[in-house]
Structures are given as structure tokens and as C-alpha cells.
């Protein structure tokens, strides 16, 4: 089956990566140019309609702190609450090295707001689902604006930045395929050779809820949820049911 061939290639590439020491990160300076870029990203957006970025920019120097780090494979500027940041650097360094892009700049607004289902009957839109964006084929423009699911969003946006979009397809299919690849790589990188199984079950329980809410192709969240699962179906990943994961309480898109 196709999925076994995917897994074999991905697992071998990940094994090669994990056999090497993680990339080393160095403290960096946040320049005036960086700050101008960050302030531009705080403006209104069709994606971040909840204004998470502008909220954090407005709180800089008060409750929000900023830091920058660089490694041989990219540069990350983080805005975060509190004095401590979760240790993400080994994982992010490995992800960047796996892509091997040049001139990568990531601005991460590590906002703690989770992805949550709205009340029954309310429309599910970007405010409930989205967590990042970039300009296609431009790895210098990656923006992530939630703490939750940040590694998954990083992989998703790196795929766009690496020019993987099939322009012959519509945006729904492009996003569904990008999300399907991002979930697969992250599941295997974190969960091991069978990491995909946990993600597969997570998709299923979430999509049962979404189908009951009337989410179909053309509905905004379809591309990141039901559409993503259909891509895995097309690749031949077997359905595993829901296991013991229970009813989804959030719209967090990744099981990891």
C-alpha cells in the first residue's frame, strides 16, 4: 500500500536526522528591521481575526517578552508570556534541518489561546482553526501565532515556503494536502515508526464531531480537518477507529 512506502521513506529520513546531534542554537539580537516586520504582522489579517498578534505586540515590555535565536538552518524570534519558554529548540532545529531551506525567518507569537469548538450552531472559522501563515516560496516570511500546535504549524508553513503547493489545484486541496503531510511528518518525528496511529485516531474523533456540525467541502475548516483525513484515506492509511481518545474537547489539529 502507498502509505507503507511513505512511512518507509519518512522513517528512514527521520532516523538519519535523530542519529545526529540536534542543531546548536545561539542567542541573537532583535534588530530594528525585525521590529518593523513584527509590527507589520500585527495588523488586521484574514487569518488571525482574533487579533492574537496585535494583542501580544501591545503588551511587549509588560507581560510579553521577546527573544531571538539562530542556528545554521534558520532564525526564530519569539514573543511569549512569562519569563520561561518551553524547550522547543531541539525539535525545531531538527525540523529546519530536515527541510534544508536557506534564509528562514520565523516570528512566533506564542499566544496561549487554544483552539476550541464554538457553541453548537456557531460557524467554525479561521479564529478557531488557524495558527500561522507565510508567503509561498518565501521562507523569510513565516508567522506562527499560537503556542498550541506550533511545531505542526511550523512544518505546514515550511512546506508552503519550500514551494510544494500544486498550483493546478484549488486552495482547499492545497491546504488539505499540506496539512496531511505536516501531520504525518510530525507524528513520525515525535511518535516514532508508528506515530501516525495516534494522529489517525485523533483525526477520526474530531471529524465525527465536525461532520455532525455540518462541515462539508466548501466549509472553511474542511481543508484542515475532514479534507486532511481524506488525503490520508487516498494514501491508503487504514482507519483505526477512535480508540480510547474519547470525545474531542478542542480543535487542536495535531495529536502531538
The 10s digit of each residue's pLDDT in 136-184 is 999 999 999 999 999 999 999 999 999 999 999 999 999 999 999 999 9
Cα–Cα distance for residue pair 158/26, rounded to 1 Å: 21
* Choice between 169 and 49, residue whose per-residue pLDDT is larger: 169
Query: Residue 134's closest CA among 148, 144, 147?
Result: 144
Instruction: For residue 28, name the pLDDT band (cuts at 50, 70, 90).
Output: very high
What pLDDT score was predicted for residue 241?
75
Mean pLDDT, to the nearest integer, of 52-65?
93
Strand order in the sheet with 142-144: 26-28, 64-71, 74-81, 105-109, 142-144, 132-133
Domain ranges of the chain: 2-235
Determine what percent of the chain is predicted with pLDDT higher than 90: 82
Report which listed range, 22-36, 83-97, 238-252, is most confident: 22-36
Instruction: For residue 246, name the pLDDT band (cuts at 50, 70, 90).
Output: low
What pLDDT score was predicted for residue 49?
81
Query: Residue 115's closest CA among 82, 86, 153?
Result: 153
The 10s digit of each residue's pLDDT in 88-134 is 999 999 999 999 998 899 999 999 999 999 988 899 999 999 999 99
The yes-or-no verdict on residue 190 having pLDDT over 90 is yes
What pLDDT score was predicted for residue 45?
72
Per-residue three-class SS string for the chain: CHHHHHHHHHHHHHHHHHCCCCCCCEEECCCHHHHHHHHHHCCCCCCCCCCHHHHHHHCECCCEEEEEEEECCEEEEEEEECCCCCCCHHHHHHHHHHHCCCCCEEEEECCCCCCCCCCCCCCCCHHHHCCEECCCCCCCCEEECCCCCHHHHHHHHHHHHCCCCCCCCCHHHHHHHHHHHHHHHHHHHHHCCCCHHHHHHHHHHHHHHHHHCCCCECEHHHHHCHHHHHHHHHHCCCCCCCCCCCCCCCCCCCCC
pTM summary value: 0.95
Cα–Cα distance for residue pair 75/98, rounded to 1 Å: 15
What pLDDT score was predicted for residue 108?
96
Amino acid at each position: 500500500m502507498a502509505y507503507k512506502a511513505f512511512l518507509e521513506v519518512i522513517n528512514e529520513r527521520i532516523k538519519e536526522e535523530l542519529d545526529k546531534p540536534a542543531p546548536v542554537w545561539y542567542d541573537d539580537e532583535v534588530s530594528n528591521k525585525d521590529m518593523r516586520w513584527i509590527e507589520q504582522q500585527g495588523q488586521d489579517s484574514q487569518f488571525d481575526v482574533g487579533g492574537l498578534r496585535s494583542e501580544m505586540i501591545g503588551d511587549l515590555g509588560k507581560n510579553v517578552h521577546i527573544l531571538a535565536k539562530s542556528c545554521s538552518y534558520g532564525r526564530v524570534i519569539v514573543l511569549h508570556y512569562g519569563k520561561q519558554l518551553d524547550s522547543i529548540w531541539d525539535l525545531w532545529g531538527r525540523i529546519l534541518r530536515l527541510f534544508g531551506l536557506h534564509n528562514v525567518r520565523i516570528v512566533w507569537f506564542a499566544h496561549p489561546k487554544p483552539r476550541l469548538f464554538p457553541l453548537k450552531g456557531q460557524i467554525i472559522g479561521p479564529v478557531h482553526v488557524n495558527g500561522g501563515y507565510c508567503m509561498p516560496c518565501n521562507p523569510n516570511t513565516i508567522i506562527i501565532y499560537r503556542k498550541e500546535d506550533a511545531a505542526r504549524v511550523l512544518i505546514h508553513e515550511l512546506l508552503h515556503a519550500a514551494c510544494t503547493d500544486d498550483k493546478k489545484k484549488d486552495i482547499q486541496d492545497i491546504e488539505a494536502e499540506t496539512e496531511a503531510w505536516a501531520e504525518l511528518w510530525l507524528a513520525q518525528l515525535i511518535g516514532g515508526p508508528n506515530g501516525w496511529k495516534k494522529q489517525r485516531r485523533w483525526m477520526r474523533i474530531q471529524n465525527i464531531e465536525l461532520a455532525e456540525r455540518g462541515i462539508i467541502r466548501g466549509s472553511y475548516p474542511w481543508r484542515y480537518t475532514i479534507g486532511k483525513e481524506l488525503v490520508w484515506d487516498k494514501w491508503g492509511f487504514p482507519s483505526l477507529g477512535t480508540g480510547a481518545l474519547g470525545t474531542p474537547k478542542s480543535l487542536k489539529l495535531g495529536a502531538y
